A and B are shown apart, each in its own frame.
Chain A
Amino acid sequence: MSERATAPPMFNVQIDGVWRQFPKGTRVIEACEQAGSYVPHYCYHKKLSSPGNCRMCLIEMGMPKLGPDRKPELGADGKPVINWMLRPQISCAQDIAEGMGVRTNSPLAKECQRGVMEFLLINHPLDCPICDQAGECLLQEFSVEYGTAESRFLENKVKKPKNVVLGPRVTLDDERCILCSRCIRFCQEIAKDDVLGFVDRGSHTVLTAHPGKRLENNYSLNTVDICPVGALTSSDFRFKMRVWFLKETKSICTSCATGCNTLIGTREDIIYRQTPRQNDAVNSCWMCDYGRLHFSYLESEKRLLEPRISSGEKLAAVNWKTAITQAALQLRQFSGWEIAVVASGRMTNEELWLTAQIARLLGVQFIDIVPRTGPSDDILLSADRNPNSNGARLLLQLASEPGAKLPALAEAAKSGQVKALVALGENPLAFGISTEQLAQLPAFIVMDILSNVATEHATVLLPASGFAEKRGSMINGKGRLQRLNRAVRPPGTARDDWEILRDLLQALGGGNAIYSIEDVFRQMSDAVPQFAGLSLSKIGDPGAHVMQLEESPPTEKPSDEAKIEEGASAQSQRRNEKST
């Protein structure tokens, strides 16, 4: 940390004939990329250590020519004269040095790229038509850019295992593997679950799991993301849809309080996959499998498709206006202390803000969210499984911890003090209210996305939208404000939650001048000091830090660089042990 506080020394490096300055410790490949000279690579990944085994990033390199006084000789332009090395060098596993020269486009570098490309393609099957990676495959891309059109390979390709089930979520095709070892290093360095490795020699080398072990850690699907070819495939996404059809919407994962940044891949209102989006302040380049695969419930058979109100024994479908009017009518019958509002830590800030407005208008005392916890790990997964607990604390102005009022609420429902219950995205059966009590409530207004035992007893049922179907913002566990975006449309006549709450608020006599979600945020930013000066668009894709939390200060966890250094030092140690 102290090193980072003082600016690192800058080195002069000549890249493709132009002298530039880079901080000490920059890898050559990164310096080249910053200088606008892209160097193709497979095994190098910016968040992992560099083993230098794919050889794709070969470049021509030179060091300053030293005079008899061990000082660089200067040329006519006052810059050091560079002695070019005769052999090509890999650019991923070296740091820059003062006076270094790099040529990424020289005949030697180009010849190396073409040669390495040809070697990589020798045993690679030509099954792009059935390969899930096609369209986002580095082998395809570099083959076009740096390879040759035809193969000179006349011999038979090596046969390797196909369709290997590495774990519950990952399927491996060994023939497609180009042995870059990114997945192995990910498991060692990030997931800390060292189960993958290479066995056998030469062109028969295959990637495999350690005997008796499976790739089943909660981060296994990240290996599929970083696999530059189609060797590791997601069993969930396998053969479902070609990637070029997917519309990728920037959003966040709502399965825990970490709020990993994601891209939701959709086509024609169907979600096919979620992939992590790089945000070094939140999730680096990764996300957990639990959050990644947690979206199929949006396409569940149980989705609520139309607003309903109870008439006699069953729930009758009505239009939105009737449902909202009915809900407002039912709520107006009771005074504030007879009404309870159970909001959800899965609601967006905008929805929570409108909920708070409704509660204030009605004078509601009982207002809380339902806590949701699970085991955490020290990588990304948070113990708080509500994505917006901090938003609820802030906007509902919860004095106590989330869920503290729930036992009292259940007690009040039992004693009959609470006569109207508003459940927003939560099931009251989860916190001690029985179905009989629900059935006896004169007013039980439910806004949810899935039907369950509780929704059958609703007096007004309002179908809402899932996380991928709406816009809004949430505050993650570290106090970072981030945006959700709409990737698909909600099914049936289900509406955005904020619209439902706005209509309810207006039917109760409040909520003027809210026509869009931007208006909600504007009102919120006027009233809440943490959001002052912000708007939905100003939050931006990487999010904005809005809350200083004492228990979890906004300092970053051990950064990836630190992890890499750790991994690299361990590696060099191993190497030294071997050599001695």
Chain B
Amino acid sequence: MAITVARPKRNWRERLYLPAIAAGMVITIKHFKNTIFGRTKVTMQYPEEKWDSSLPEHYRGAPALVRDTDGRVRCVACQLCEFICPPRAIKIIPGEIPSTDRFAKVEKYPEEFDIDMVRCIFCGMCEEVCPEQAIFLRKDYAITGFTREEMVHDKDKLLEIGGVMHGVVLKWNEKK
């Protein structure tokens, strides 16, 4: 069934349109004046100038793996991020930490951890789902490469972007 949209009744001033056009022109001329006198900056000279300083706190850039203050790679290869990732950008191959290792009590670690940045949509679900506070979206946004292979961030690259994370829960320290 068709819906009848109620049209507002306009008075003669509104129907003339000219006052509205004039009001619009006033705004345009104000901007024009500000630009002429250098009071407004319209263009940011990217890449000489960068966004970095003006990015908001909640900005979601490239996902990255972090180490904690003990130097341990926080990820334990639980593969929840791989599961939740909507574009399936994450691929993890889990492995067992050898018993001679300093962090042997954690038992499991990612042997390989790849994020395909061509696929990544920066949604942040991996960070949200991570039970180990191991993956965070950093502020890196200029992710480029000449080939598709270059666009796959491997574990080393992810750790390089991620760096050390302070103030995370060190739950494995209580174990054994």
Which residues of A does B touch, CB under 8 Å?
125-130, 134, 159, 162-163, 238-242, 244-245
Contact = CB atoms under 8 A, between A and B. Distances in A.
B124 interface: no
B176 A130 contact: no
A245 B107 contact: no
A130 B106 contact: yes
B51 interface: no
Interface in B91-146: 94-96, 99, 105-108, 131-132
Interface residues of B, number: 20
Interface of B: 76-80, 82-83, 94-96, 99, 105-108, 131-132, 171, 175-176
Given A162-B176, A241-B79, A242-B78, 18 more contacts: A125-B175, A128-B78, A128-B131, A129-B76, A129-B78, A129-B80, A129-B108, A130-B77, A130-B107, A130-B108, A163-B99, A239-B77, A239-B94, A239-B95, A242-B79, A242-B83, A244-B83, A245-B82
Return the 7 tightest CB-CB contacts between A and B, nearest first. Answer: A129-B78, A130-B108, A242-B79, A129-B131, A130-B76, A239-B96, A129-B76
Contacts of B76: 129-130
A124 B108 CA distance: 18
A129 B132 contact: yes
Given A163-B107, A238-B96, A239-B94, A130 B79 contact: no
Contacts of A239: 77, 94-96, 107-108
Contacts of A242: 78-79, 83
Contacts of A241: 79, 94
Given A125-B175, A159-B176, A163-B107, A130 B78 contact: yes
A244 to B, nearest CB: 6
A48 B79 CA distance: 34
Contacts of A127: 175
Nearest to A268: B91
Contacts of A240: 94
A238 B96 CA distance: 9
A117 B171 CA distance: 23
A247 to B, nearest CB: 14
A125 B175 CA distance: 9
B83 A245 contact: yes
29 contacts: A125-B175, A126-B171, A127-B175, A128-B78, A128-B131, A129-B76, A129-B80, A129-B108, A129-B131, A129-B132, A130-B77, A130-B106, A130-B107, A134-B78, A159-B176, A162-B107, A162-B176, A163-B99, A163-B107, A239-B77, A239-B94, A239-B95, A239-B107, A241-B79, A242-B79, A244-B83, A245-B79, A245-B82, A245-B83
Contacts of A134: 78
A159 B77 CA distance: 24
A125 B76 CA distance: 15
Nearest to B80: A129
A178 B65 CA distance: 34
A134 B78 CA distance: 9
Contacts of B175: 125, 127
A439 to B, nearest CB: 43
A164 to B, nearest CB: 12
Nearest to B111: A239
Contacts of A126: 171
Contacts of B82: 245
A173 to B, nearest CB: 9
A129 B105 CA distance: 13
Nearest to B95: A239
B131 to A, nearest CB: 5
Contacts of B80: 129
Nearest to B107: A130
A184 to B, nearest CB: 25
A438 to B, nearest CB: 41
A128 B129 CA distance: 13
Nearest to A130: B108
Contacts of B95: 239
A162 to B, nearest CB: 7
A216 B112 CA distance: 33
B110 to A, nearest CB: 11
Nearest to A161: B176
A107 B106 CA distance: 40
Which of A129, A162, A163, A244 is packed against the most chain B CB atoms within 10 Å? Answer: A129
A242 B93 CA distance: 11
B134 to A, nearest CB: 9
A128 B132 CA distance: 11
Which of A128, A163, A239 is packed against the most chain B CB atoms within 10 Å? Answer: A239
Which of A127, A241, A244 is packed against the most chain B CB atoms within 10 Å? Answer: A127
A536 B152 CA distance: 45
A187 B128 CA distance: 43
A244 B80 CA distance: 10
B143 to A, nearest CB: 26
Contacts of A238: 96
A309 to B, nearest CB: 37
Nearest to A162: B176
A163 B76 CA distance: 16
Nearest to A240: B94
Contacts of A245: 79, 82-83
A244 B95 CA distance: 17
Nearest to A242: B79
A125 B94 CA distance: 20
Contacts of B77: 130, 239
A163 B97 CA distance: 12
B132 to A, nearest CB: 6
A500 B107 CA distance: 46
A326 B105 CA distance: 60
Nearest to B175: A125
A127 B107 CA distance: 10
A240 B107 CA distance: 13
A21 to B, nearest CB: 45
A129 B176 CA distance: 17
